[in-house]
Amino acid sequence: MIFTIAGKDLKALFTSPIAWVVLTFVQLIVGYGFLKRFDEFMEVQKQLLQLASPPGFTELVAVPTFATTAAIMLFAVPLLAMRLIAEERRNQTIVLLTSAPISILDIVLGKFLALLGMLLIILALVALMPLSLSGATKLDYRLIGSIVLGLTLMAAAFSAVSLYVSSLTTHPIVAALGAFGALMAMVLMGENVADNLQTRGLGVLATFAQVFSPVKNFEPLGKGVIDSYAIACLVLLTVLFLAFTVRQLEARRLRG
Amino acid sequence: MISPSESTAPPAVTLAAHGLSRRFGSHTAVDGVDLQLRRGEVLGFLGPNGAGKTTTMQMLTGNLAPTAGAVSVCGVDLLEAPVEAKSHIGYLPETPPLYRDMKVGEYLDLVARLHRVPSAKRRAAVDKAQARCGLSDVSRKLIGKLSKGYQQRVGIAQAIVHEPDVIILDEPTVGLDPNQIRDIRALIRELGGTHSIILSTHILPEVEAICDRVQIMHHGKLVYSDTIAALKQFHSGRILLVGLNNPPAMDELAAIPGVTRAEAAGEHLFRVSIAAGADPTTQIVTLAAERQWGLHQIAPAQTNLEDVFVNLTTRDVTDGEKAA
C-alpha cells in the first residue's frame, strides 16, 4: 500500500513541471561546476605530481561536485515536497486516501518514499558525472560511496522536514518557503550552536542540538569518515519529523 | 467481533451509529445521532444547509473523530479498527476527491488499488464502475478536462469501484443535468439492491423517488426518521390542492363534509385537509360548478415530504428543543 501511494506521488511529481525544472536546474549547475573543476584539474595535474601524496581526481573534482548537490538540495527538496500534502488538502483529495483502508503512517511513508525516490534520481544523475570517467582515472570508490550514503541520509532528513511543513498548511508556496526556512535555520544553527553548547559544558544539550544539524552530520560522511553517531542523528531527525507528520494528520481527524 | 448474524434477521445491519456527537469548540454540530442501515436499504439524509449532514457523514467514514458515540461497519468498530472498517465503505464527499491530471481509467485503477482490490480483478472492477457510471467513453480523458457532470460521475464511480457494503454519498446529483440525474438515480436504485446506501441531498423529490427510508436532521439532531412507504401512506390523499379563480370564504370550503380545514396556499390556490377515510373531491367539484368558484385545478398534494421537511426545519429553536 505504501508503494501504491509512493508510485502515485512520484508520477504526480513528473506530471507537474516542478520535477523537470528542478532536474534541469540541478544538471545545469552541477554539470557546469563539474566540467569547470575537471578543466582546472587537467591544468594543475602536472604540478600535483610533484607533491608527496597528491590529492586525486576524486578529492578535487568529485567531492566538490557532490558538495554543490548538497547545497542545491537545500532548496530543491522544499520545492519538490511542497505539493505532497498541502495541495492534497487544498483540493480535498486527501479524503480519498483517508477514506481508504490505509493507515495514516502508510500514507506518510508513501509520500516520503516518493520524494526520496525523486531525490535518488537526482543523486544518481549527479553520481554518473564522476563515474563516467571511471575508465580514464582511478576513482576512490569508498569515498564516493560514503558521500552518496551521506547525501541520501541528508536528503531523507530534508524530505521528512519538508513533508512535515507541507502538512501544516494548505498553500504549497507557503509550505516551500516554510520548509526552506526550517532547513536554513537548521544549517545556521548547526554551524555553531552545538559547538557553543559544548564549550559551555552543556554536553547533553549539545548532543540534542546535533540531531537538528543535518548538514553538520553530513560533513564526516562527506570526508569519507563513517561516523555512526552522525548517521544515527540523521536517521533520528528523519524518523522524528515523519512522526510529527503522522501526528499532524491524525490531529486533523480529531480537530476537524 | 465479526458475527454474521444471519439467524436474527435476513437483511444484516451494515452500518450502525449510536449517540454520535461532534462539538467544534462550544458549537455542537451533531448531537446524539442514532442511525441504522440494513443491506439493500437506501437511506435519504435530509436537512437544511448547516444541519450537520456532512459532519455526520465525515464521522461515519472515519474522516472526523466523533466527540462521543460509536460507529460500527459490518460489525467492525470504526474507531477501534479503522482500517478494517473502512474497507467496507465507499465514500463520495461533498467535493469529489479527484486528481485532475490523471486519466479516468488510471484514477479508478488507483482507487481500486487503494481499496485492495486484487490485481486479477482490478481491470474488471474498473470497467464495471465505468460502465455503470457512463464513463466508458471518457476512460482515457484527463479528469481535469471533463465537465462538472462527468467529474461528479467519476466521483460516484470512485465510491463504488471496490463494491463496498456501505456506500455514502454526499449530494451525489449536484451539478448534473436532468438526464444525468435520472441516470444516477437509476444507478443508485440498482446499487441499493445489494448494497446499503446513505445519500444526503436537499432535493426532496429525489429522496421520495429513490430512498426506502428518510431521516431529517435539524440543528445537529435527528428530528424525523421513517420509511418513505409509511410517510406516503400517512399523508396520501389527506391534503388536496384546489385552484379556484373565484374563491368563496374559507368557512364555506371548510363546511363541506369531510373537509377538516381549508387555507390559502398561494394565489387562487387552497390547501384543503381531509378527514381520515373521507373523499370530498366530488362534492368540491359539484359545489364549485354550482356556485361558480372557477375551479381550474384539483389534485392531491404531491410533495408530502416537503411538508414534513418544512414543518420540522422552520420551527424556532426553542420549539424544537421542547419537542426533543
pLDDT of residue B222: 85
Q: Which of B201, B233, B265 is the last residue of a domain?
A: B233
Contacts of A97 in chain B (CB under 8 A): 114
Is there a contact between A96 and B89 if contact means CB atoms under 8 Å apart? no
Q: Running DSSP on this structure, what letter comes out for residue B103?
A: B
Q: Does B324 map to a domain?
A: no
Query: Above pLDDT 90, what percent of chain A?
Result: 62
Count CA within 13 A, CB hemisphere, residue B103.
10
- pLDDT surpasses 90 at A51: no
**Total Cβ atoms within 10 A of residue B172:** 26
Domain with residue B290: its CATH number is: 3.30.70
For residue A215, give the nearest of A70, A82, A8, A80 by alpha carbon: A70
What total of structural domains would you count in chain B? Answer: 2
Q: Does B205 map to a domain?
A: yes
Q: Which of B233, B267, B287 is the last residue of a domain?
A: B233
Q: Higher pLDDT residue, B308 or A23?
A: A23
- pLDDT surpasses 80 at B18: yes
Residues B189, B254 within the same domain: no
Residues B34, B180 within the same domain: yes
Is there a contact between B114 and A254 if contact means CB atoms under 8 Å apart? no
Q: What is the ipTM of this complex?
A: 0.88
pLDDT of residue B115: 95
Cell of A75: 532548496
pLDDT of residue B4: 47
Count CA within 13 A, CB hemisphere, residue B288.
19
pLDDT of residue A169: 93
- pLDDT surpasses 70 at B303: no
Q: What ranges in chain B are assigned the alpha helix state H?
A: 53-60, 82-86, 104-114, 119-132, 148-160, 178-192, 204-210, 228-235, 250-254, 281-290, 304-313, 317-323
Cell of A148: 552518496
CB of A20 within 8 Å of a chain B CB? The answer is no
**Crossing angle for the helix pair B104-114 and A2-15, to the nearest 10 degrees:** 160
pLDDT, tens digit, for every residue of A199-247? 777 777 777 788 888 888 888 888 888 889 899 999 999 999 999 999 9
Note the Cα A169 to chain centre separation in Å.
Answer: 21
Residues B68, B198 within the same domain: yes
Count CA within 13 A, CB hemisphere, residue B167.
30
CB of A251 within 8 Å of a chain B CB? The answer is no
pLDDT, tens digit, for every residue of B103-127? 999 999 999 999 999 999 999 999 9
Nearest to A100 among B22, B95, B114 (CB): B114
Q: Give yes or no for a contact between A3 and A107, defined as CB atoms under 8 angstroms apart.
A: no
Cell of A202: 552543556
Nearest to A253 among B24, B63, B87 (CB): B63
Amino acid occupying residue B80: E
Q: Give yes or no for a contact between B196 and B15, defined as CB atoms under 8 angstroms apart.
A: yes
Is there a contact between B114 and A4 if contact means CB atoms under 8 Å apart? yes
- Give the torsion through C-alpha atoms of B185, B187, B192, B194, to 10 deg: 180
Contacts of A103 in chain B (CB under 8 A): 82-83
Q: Higher pLDDT residue, B193 or A192?
A: B193
CB of A17 within 8 Å of a chain B CB? The answer is no
Distance (Å, whole) CA A171 – CA A67: 31
Q: Does B5 map to a domain?
A: no
Contacts of B84 in chain A (CB under 8 A): 101
- pLDDT surpasses 50 at B279: yes
Residue with cell 390547501: B271
Q: Does B79 map to a domain?
A: yes
Domain with residue B49: its CATH number is: 3.40.50.300
pLDDT of residue A31: 94
Q: Higher pLDDT residue, B223 or A118?
A: A118
For residue B88, the SS3 value is coil
Q: Higher pLDDT residue, A45 or A152?
A: A152
Is there a contact between B97 and A102 if contact means CB atoms under 8 Å apart? no
Task: Please state the rounded mean pLDDT for residues A83-100.
Answer: 94
Residues B100, B204 within the same domain: yes
Distance (Å, whole) CA B24 – CA A84: 27
Q: Running DSSP on this structure, what letter comes out for residue A83?
A: H
Sign for the pseudo-dihedral over CA of B215, B218, B223, B228: negative
Cell of B187: 444507478
Q: Higher pLDDT residue, A121 or B295?
A: A121
pLDDT of residue A235: 96
Residues B139, B260 within the same domain: no
CB of A93 within 8 Å of a chain B CB? The answer is yes
pLDDT, tens digit, for every residue of B197-247? 999 987 777 888 888 888 888 888 888 787 877 766 655 557 777 888 888
Residues B17, B37 within the same domain: yes
Amino acid occupying residue A130: P
Residues B152, B102 within the same domain: yes
> How does strand B213-218 pair with strand B196-200?
unpaired
Q: Does B119 map to a domain?
A: yes
pLDDT of residue A209: 80
CA-based nearest distance B175→chain A, Å: 18
Which domain covers residue B271, as residue numbers? Answer: 238-300
Burial tier of A108 (Cβ tally within 10 Å: 0-12, 13-18, 19+) = buried
For residue B274, the SS3 value is strand
Residues B77, B224 within the same domain: yes
Q: Higher pLDDT residue, B323 or B189?
A: B189
Residues B148, B250 within the same domain: no
Q: Which residue of A has its CA nearest to B142?
A: A15
Residues B92, B228 within the same domain: yes
pLDDT, tens digit, for every residue of A139-190? 888 999 999 999 999 999 999 999 999 999 999 999 999 999 999 998 887 7
Q: Which of B206, B233, B260 is the last residue of a domain?
A: B233
Strand partners, A107: none
Contacts of B58 in chain A (CB under 8 A): 256
Q: Does B319 map to a domain?
A: no
- pLDDT surpasses 50 at B6: no
Backbone angles phi, psi at B124, to 5 degrees: -65, -40
Mean pLDDT of chain A: 90
pLDDT of residue B2: 45
Nearest to B63 among A91, A95, A103 (CB): A95
Cell of B18: 449510536
CA-based nearest distance A161→chain B, Å: 25
Strand partners, B266: B269
Residues B56, B186 within the same domain: yes
Distance (Å, whole) CA A63 – CA A66: 5
Note the Cα A182 to chain centre separation in Å.
Answer: 13
Task: Please give the full DSSP string across A123-141, using - where no structure is assigned.
Answer: HHHHHHHHHTTTTTS---H
Residues B63, B172 within the same domain: yes
Q: Does B8 map to a domain?
A: no
Q: Does B312 map to a domain?
A: no
Cell of B149: 457532470
CB of A16 within 8 Å of a chain B CB? The answer is yes
Strand partners, B23: B28
Q: Which residue of A has its CA nearest to B65?
A: A254
